[in-house]
Structure 1
Amino acid sequence: MLPTPLFLDCDTGIDDSLALLYLLTRPDVEITGIASTAGNVATDTVVENNLAWLELCGRTDIPVHPGSPVPLVTPLRTAEDTHGPHGTGYARLATAVTAPSPVDAAHAWCRAASTHADRLVGLAIGPLTNLALALRLDPDLPTRLDRLVIMGGAFGVPGNTTPVAEWNMVVDPEAAAEVFAAFDRPDAPDPLVCGLDVTEQMSFTPAHAQRLADAAPGTRVAGYLTDALRFYFEFHDAQGEGYQAFVHDPLAAMVALDPDRASTTPAHLAVELEGALTRAMTVADRRGMLGAPNVRLVTGADVDAMLDELVDALARLGVAIG
Structure 2
Amino acid sequence: MPQKIILDVDTGIDDSLAMLYLLASPEAELLGIAATAGNVPAAQVAANTLAVLDLGRAPEIEVALGAAEPLAVPLRTTEDTHGLQGLGYAVLPLSPRALSARSAAQLWVELARAHPGEAIGLCTGPLTNLALALRIEPELPRLLRRLVIMGGAFNHPGNTTPTNEWNVHVDPEAAKEVFDAFSAAPPDRRPVVCALDVTETIEMRTEHLEQLARAAGSTPHEPIGPADLLEWRSAATNPIVRYLTDAVRFYFDFHHQYELGYLAHMHDPFAAAVALDPALATTRPATVDVELTGTLTRATTVADWAGMWGREPNADIVIGADPALFFERLVTRVGALARRLYPEQP
What TM-score do the two structures reach when normalised by structure 1? 0.98
- Counterpart of 2:327 in structure 1 is 307
**Distance in 1, Cα, partners of 2:167 & 2:102:** 24
How far residue 58 of structure 1 moved from its aligned partner, in angstroms, is 2.0
**Distance in 2, Cα, partners of 1:303 & 1:109:** 30
User: What are the residue-to-residue correspondences of 1:48-87 with 2, within 5 Å?
Assistant: 48-87=47-86
How far residue 60 of structure 1 moved from its aligned partner, in angstroms, is 4.1
- Counterpart of 2:193 in structure 1 is 193
The one-letter code of the counterpart of 2:52 is: W
**Distance in 1, Cα, partners of 2:118 & 2:135:** 21
How far residue 261 of structure 1 moved from its aligned partner, in angstroms, is 2.1
> Is the 1:34–1:65 contact (alpha carbons within 8 Å) kept by the matching residues of 2?
yes
User: What are the residue-to-residue correspondences of 1:107-146 with 2, within 5 Å?
Assistant: 107-146=106-145
- Counterpart of 1:258 in structure 2 is 277
User: 1:61-98: per-residue Cα shift (whole Å, max 9, x none)?
Assistant: 11111000100001000010000011110000111011
> Is the 1:35–1:105 contact (alpha carbons within 8 Å) kept by the matching residues of 2?
yes
User: What are the residue-to-residue correspondences of 1:147-296 with 2, within 5 Å?
Assistant: 147-187=146-186, 189-216=189-216, 217=218, 218-290=237-309, 291-296=311-316
State the identity %: 52
Secondary structure of 1:183's counterpart equals: helix
Secondary structure of 2:207's counterpart equals: helix
Secondary structure of 1:251's counterpart equals: helix
**Distance in 2, Cα, partners of 1:215 & 1:308:** 11
How far residue 186 of structure 1 moved from its aligned partner, in angstroms, is 5.0
**Distance in 1, Cα, partners of 2:186 & 2:149:** 19
Secondary structure of 1:48's counterpart equals: helix
Q: Gaps spanning 5+ residues in structure 2: where?
A: 219-236
User: 1:84-131: per-residue Cα shift (whole Å, max 9, x none)?
Assistant: 011110000111011111111000000111111001100001000000
**Count, aligned residues:** 321
Structure 1 stretches (4+) deviating beyond 6 angstroms? none
- Bigger radius of gyration among the two: 2
Q: Gaps spanning 5+ residues in structure 1: where?
A: none
> Is the 1:51–1:60 contact (alpha carbons within 8 Å) kept by the matching residues of 2?
no
**Distance in 2, Cα, partners of 1:187 & 1:293:** 10
Secondary structure of 1:181's counterpart equals: helix
The one-letter code of the counterpart of 1:141 is: L
The one-letter code of the counterpart of 1:300 is: G
What TM-score do the two structures reach when normalised by structure 2? 0.91
Secondary structure of 1:102's counterpart equals: coil
> Is the 1:154–1:164 contact (alpha carbons within 8 Å) kept by the matching residues of 2?
yes
How far residue 214 of structure 1 moved from its aligned partner, in angstroms, is 2.7
**Distance in 2, Cα, partners of 1:202 & 1:72:** 30
**Distance in 2, Cα, partners of 1:211 & 1:39:** 30
**Distance in 2, Cα, partners of 1:78 & 1:186:** 31
**Distance in 1, Cα, partners of 2:145 & 2:199:** 23
**Distance in 2, Cα, partners of 1:297 & 1:55:** 34
How far residue 57 of structure 1 moved from its aligned partner, in angstroms, is 2.0
Secondary structure of 2:340's counterpart equals: helix
The one-letter code of the counterpart of 2:182 is: F
User: Structure 1 residues 168 and 186 mapped into 2: Cα distance closer, same or farther (>3 Å)?
Assistant: closer
User: 1:275-296: per-residue Cα shift (whole Å, max 9, x none)?
Assistant: 0100000000011112111111
Q: Provide the aligned C-alpha RMSD in A.
A: 1.0
Secondary structure of 1:284's counterpart equals: strand
> Is the 1:121–1:146 contact (alpha carbons within 8 Å) kept by the matching residues of 2?
yes
